[in-house]
Structure 1
Amino acid sequence: MPNTETPSTTDHIPDTAGWPVTGDDGRARPPWAATDPLLRDYYDTEWGNPVRDERGMFERVCLEGFQVGLSWRLILQKREAFRDAFAGFDPEAVAEMNIEHLLDDETLIRNRRKLQAAVTNAQATLALRDEGTHLGEFIWSYQPDTTPAPHTMAEVPTRSAESEQLAKDLKKRGFTFVGPVTMYALMESTGIVDTNLVGTWKRGSSGVWA
């Protein structure tokens, strides 16, 4: 991933100038997922696969918010701890939480603003239901007409007109830590856009884009 707010492109990446890297299993992957076992497994099993349900999308919004300024690898390492702390990312449960006790939890990222954002975003997620939609449907409504077809990491966008509008509209509804770069990373990770490099084994595998 090219975004500074998505899987880190500086950790565990071979000198490949951003081109796909073929692993010992014969599968080509982007450099960020080529060697580190944790990132490789995440890429192979989850990244870019469609996420459409409310709880699944809420978790991704929260995790992307926690990742701002940090590496995605760190977020993956702490993911189960986040799930335990935030009731499996059930929006109704999180919306009623007090985060004070989490500030002393060394298994989490102890950033008050980020922890509180999960609660704020849960409340905003519930409020979306009053509009006759849910978070998954709402975010998918910003799917563009076309998706990029990058050959190298340098060609992968970090934001788009859709991610900018999504960020703006989510902020109007009370969401935080949802900037346009973060929202583009969310769109990539949940299959709304396909930024798999041309030639990698997952390119087009989501079923969303031919």
Structure 2
Amino acid sequence: MTELGVVVGEDGLARPAWAATDPLLREYYDTEWGMPVRDERGLFERLSLEAFQSGLSWATILRKRPAFRAAFAGFDPDAVAAFDERDVDRLLADPGIVRNRRKVEATIANARATVALRADGGLPALVWSFKPADTPRPRTYAEVPTTSSESVALARELKSRGFRHVGPTTMFALMEAVGIVDTHLLGSHRRGTSGVWAD
């Protein structure tokens, strides 16, 4: 661990401790986390997984992501929006995913809300409209925020559009994951690599 809160791996690259040891988390951190996601299906998937992650570790969700994709029709919003009670029962019997009725039903409701949003610019335009004027510059993990005024406003707007399980903390995690904010530690090899923020 350095003074900047990162861990330098055997490959010489500096990462935060959460991404330093588990190969799955390291691969996700190095290639995906914080990179811009601007397509509807990609954002719907990330929003859904962040909601399922609430109260659990991200590693748990990441390990289950292939099963989530299979269970939720590749996170195609049109397909998920058509799910009915039989699909809810099917999902609650699927050991490959997180079997939480409220989260399953929220994902279906969010698919319907995503489809409805197309008439008003779509989910990507709405989510990205909450990009802040500046991004955090954390030196240590303790300096990484868990909410922001923008994530509070995004959560409020999504709820007004019929989305569920989209609180300010979950929405800040979404904003981090899809590149709207850059919370890579200043010493990390990934800092500033999204193309959205200069540093």
TM-score (norm 1): 0.91
- Report the RMSD for the aligned CA atoms in angstroms: 1.2
Decide whether aligned partners of structure 1 residues 113 and 16 sit closer, same or farther in structure 2, where only a CA change above 3 A counts: farther
Does the Cα contact within 8 Å between 2:4 and 2:185 map onto a contact in 1? Answer: no
2:23 to 19, 28, 37: 37
Q: Which residue of 2 aligns with 1:93?
A: 79
Q: Distance in 1 between matches of 2:80 and 2:89?
A: 13
1:139 maps onto 2:152 in alignment:
no
Report how many aligned residue pairs link the two structures.
Answer: 195
Shift of 1:106: 0.8
Which AA in structure 1 matches 2:133?
D
Q: Distance in 2 between matches of 1:126 and 1:64?
A: 19
1:115 maps onto 2:104 in alignment:
yes
Q: Which residue of 2 aligns with 1:167?
A: 155
Which AA in structure 2 matches 1:142?
F
In structure 2, the gaps of 5 or more residues are none
Does the Cα contact within 8 Å between 2:7 and 2:17 map onto a contact in 1? Answer: yes
Decide whether aligned partners of structure 1 residues 135 and 51 sit closer, same or farther in structure 2, where only a CA change above 3 A counts: same
TM-score (norm 2): 0.95
In structure 1, the gaps of 5 or more residues are 1-14
* Higher helix content, 1 or 2: 2
Structure 1 vs Structure 2: percent identity of aligned residues? Answer: 62
Does the Cα contact within 8 Å between 1:197 and 1:203 map onto a contact in 2? Answer: yes
1:208 to 176, 196, 199: 196
Aligned pairs for 1:14-93 (under 5 A) are: 19-93=5-79
